Amino acid sequence: MRGNPIASALAIVLCLAWPTAATAGTITFPLDNSGTIAFLSPFPNIEIKGMSTQPMISAIGTGDFLFDLVVHAAVPNGTGSLLSGLVTFDFGNANIFEGTLDATAVSSPPVIDPITQARTTILTAPFSVTSGTGMFASATGSGLLILTSRRASDVSPTSTFTSTGSVSVTAPAVVPEPSMALLLASGVGVLVTWRKARRSLPRSERSSR
């Protein structure tokens, strides 16, 4: 007597769902957020720090990102000034990875409101993942963080920011769960194949299968 086809389908589904530590996984998540930027040093090398205020949601849980950047105001880079520094992503329990800004990262010239004198600056920060710990050990990847900074004046110690962008990171210990739709489709596919094969058998043989 042949094996139960339902059991076979479940076995395939479990094989798909079971994590494989030897296979690196990739996750991608958005960087839409907001918060406050602190200005730590004056012109021409303006160091700024900030962090997300809403949790990042991903397939492996929630986390935060922090940035420590320097606007090299006296160093032209494309349409603005050179931007350098790090972006750090922290998912707790020492599961951390860092991205180093690429050479094309740029801070736009500030747009000054003629009435309020508020200054709006856009920082475009492409980066490459360069290090990681915990589940992000040996991580690689890349991302783009775009910060829109709104500062009340040229001497204000802080500004507000909104951010957009995304990051994709790959590491041996990152194994996102497969979608339920994929698992169900796999099981249904096995059952359909078995049913077609059974119908093709003579009636006398069907009862034994």
Question: Comparing C-alpha atoms, which of 138, 133, 130, 127 is closest to residue 171?
Answer: 138
DSSP notation for 2-35: PPPHHHHHHHHHHHHHS--TTS-EEEEEE--EEE
Q: What is the pLDDT of residue 149?
A: 98
State the distance between the two ends of the chain, measured CA to CA, in whole angstroms: 6
Determine the pLDDT at residue 36: 98
DSSP states of 66-79 as a string? EEEEEEEEEEEETT
Low-confidence residues of the chain, pLDDT below 70?
1-23, 176-209
Residue 205 confidence (pLDDT): 57
The pLDDT of residue 184 is 47
